[in-house]
Every structure is written in C-alpha cells, then in structure tokens.
Amino acid sequence: MNYRYFFIIALLLLSMDRVTAQTQLTGWLADFNTLKINTRLSIQSDFQLRSSDQVEHVQTLLLRAGLNYHVNKKLVLTGGYAFIHNRRVISGVSGYAPEHRLWEQLLFTHPLVVGSGVHAKKGTLAHRLRLEQRFIAKSFVMHNELKNEGNVYSNRLRYFIRNITPLVPWPASGKAPFLALQNEVFVNIGDKSGVNGEFFDQNRAYIALGYRFARQFDAEFGYMNQYINGRGKAFSNNHIVQVATYVRL
C-alpha cells in the first residue's frame, strides 16, 4: 500500500473550510528531544509555543517529558507528564489556565520504501498510540479577572501516523532533505462532560519539508490543518504554520 496517497487525500479533505467552522490562522514553534541513557532507556521531551488567531497572543505553552523503554529497534513504550498553560476567554475576559496530564504511549516504527529500482527511497512510517489522563482547570470570571479553582478530569486517546521520505536516497552522512506527512486523530473516552461532551475531539493533518543536518538533528517547516470539535458544536478549523526541530543525543 502506498501511504503517500492516504496522507495526501487526508490533507486535502481536512484542509477544506467547514461551512459551520470558525477559521483561524496561527503559528506553532516546537522542539522535540530524545536523550539516550542506555540501550533500553531514553528520555524524551518537547517544548511548544502556540499562538492565537493572527499571531496576536501566546495561546498555549506546552512542556512535556517522558521515560522511554525500548523493547526493540521498532517498539518503544513511554510514560510521562505534561504541563499546559492555555489562554482562555470567558465573557470577554482573558487569562491563562493550567492543565496537568499524565500520559502513556506505544510507538511502533518500521521502514517504508517509496518508489522502485534506482528511484527507490527508504523512509520510515511511525504509528503512535497515546492515552492521556487530563486534569483541566475550572475557570471563572471574578472582579473582571479570570480565576482558576479545582479541575475536571478527562481521558483522551490519540492515534498518530507519520511518514518521513527522503527527497534523495539517504547518503552515508545522513544529510538530506525530506518530506514529512502525518495525521493524528484525538477522541475522548469515559466521562466527556468536562470537555466537549463528544467522542470526537480533533484531528491534525500535517505536511512539511525538512532537512536532516546530521543524524542527531532535523529541522522542518510545514503546514498543519487542525479541526477541533468544541463545546456546543463550536467547530474551529485552524490553519497553522509550524517550525519544528528534532534533536537526538
């Protein structure tokens, strides 16, 4: 099966504006890191800044870290914690509310050859299944300020698929441009009353051009379409420009 067609079709469908969806233009900066401890263990972390519509404010600060257990070269199990500071607006009053997450994930990565013969390029296909336990702050307005007190609990399941294909066969140095295609779907499980009350939460489709400067460092620039199912059927369709770096030590 040629996964490129699946990704391209998904991106085209998801990038179409929904009639009832609010459309926003935002920017994301992301840094993903992996630090090897030994043959079985490594530490992963990521730091992300996300803007509000038209890049007017910092919408979200995300800090996430986890401990990886490498079952073999293809399968990695991870458990970790994330802190999210998210901007909210209630009755015209804005402020930031925290969210704490515990999360567990399974990552399975395998080679994927695109093309044939002298035109064959060996890329990778990664599948990630992540379960999140979310503690989301309850926010309210008091004296014209946004206050946070207590939290609501919600579970969320995420499935992510990502393909990296070099635009030229990987040289011995490992330095080469590449194309990244990915999609991630989010669903709420268990009690949904603390979030949007629905099973479907959001979908993120992404395409990027990147360059591998060394086996330890990638950088990429891309477009993401994020479709969110908000509370009360308040759908939003976000067009996102993302710059990301990947460090492997």
Domain limits at 199?
3-248
Could you please report the per-residue DSSP string of 198-233? Answer: SSEEEEEEEEEEEEEEETTEEEEEEEEEEEEE-GGG
Helix (H, G, I), strand (E, B) or coil at 4: helix
Domain count, the chain: 1
CATH number at residue 82: 2.40.160
pLDDT of 141 reads: 86
In order along its 249 residues, the chain shows pLDDT tens digits of 455 555 555 555 555 545 456 889 999 999 999 999 999 999 999 999 999 888 888 999 999 999 999 999 999 999 999 999 999 888 888 899 999 999 999 999 999 887 666 666 788 999 999 999 999 999 888 888 888 888 999 999 999 999 999 998 888 788 999 999 999 999 999 999 989 999 999 999 999 999 999 999 999 999 999 999 988 778 899 999 999 999 999
- Please state, as a whole number, how many other Cβ atoms lie within 10 Å of the Cβ of residue 175: 14
pLDDT of 212 reads: 96
pLDDT of 243 reads: 98
Could you please report the per-residue DSSP string of 53-96? Answer: GGG-SEEEEEEEEEEEEESSSSEEEEEEEEEEEEEEEETTEEEE
CA distances from 133 to 43, 99, 104 (A): 20, 10, 9
DSSP 119: G
Please state the separation of Cα 38 from the chain's center in Å: 27
CA distances from 128 to 71, 123, 161, 185, 225 (A): 15, 17, 6, 11, 19
**Can you tell me which residue has the tokens 């460092």?**
217
